Amino acid sequence: MALISHEKGLVYLAHPKTASKATRQLLIDFGFERRDGHHDPLLEHPGPSWTVFTAIRNHWDAWVSWFYYTGERGLPFGVEWIERHLFRYRQYWPIDEEMWGLHTRFADRIMRFEHIERDLAEVFRRPIELPRVNIGVRRVATERKHYSEFYDEATREFVAARWKDEIKRYGYSYSQGGNNAGSKENPYGR
């Protein structure tokens, strides 16, 4: 889903598992309007006077979040579960070598889930506090354990190999969330 503020010249591209529900709620409160479907990508940049922004998340952390979100516990978390999820949800979240590529393609600003409020504050040039949204009991389970506690070596390596270019591009690693996101020219904040 894209949210647009014509007044501010901003477009937000919501992406699953990146605090998009809370961010959408905040932006609607700021007067942003909805555009397109739930998590549809932007097909072209709206122009030089606009700023397009989106969020990404550590790949390993995102998969644990998906595991709890879907409630599909027929299989234990692992390579088989991820492959099943990729196949089953491809129509809603098409990913292959890139998990975040659909939304980062036109983004001028790439925020990180790991410090989303700080990155939003930079976009709006003022302090931001995301609203608390009803995210249910599934989120509580992931708050108790670090995502690394869900991985065995095969699953960790599967994610690393499958999304290796994107993981490198955004400075993520299995053990940490990644570096600061910056502008499109400097997405790593370095």
Residue at token pair 């030089």: 48
Q: Is residue 51 part of a domain?
A: yes
Q: Is residue 176 part of a domain?
A: no
Q: Is residue 181 part of a domain?
A: no
Residues 6+ apart with CB under 8 A from 155: 77, 78, 79, 82
What is the reported pTM? 0.79
Print the domain residue range for 78. Answer: 2-169
Cα 170 to Cα 27, 93, 102, 104, 130: the distances in Å are 25, 20, 15, 11, 23
Q: Each residue of 129-175: pLDDT tens digit? A: 777 654 443 444 445 678 888 999 999 999 999 999 999 999 999 98
Q: State the total domains in the chain.
A: 1
What does pLDDT average to over the chain?
79
> What CATH number is given to the structural domain containing 87?
3.40.50
| 52 in Cβ contact with 107 (< 8 Å) | yes
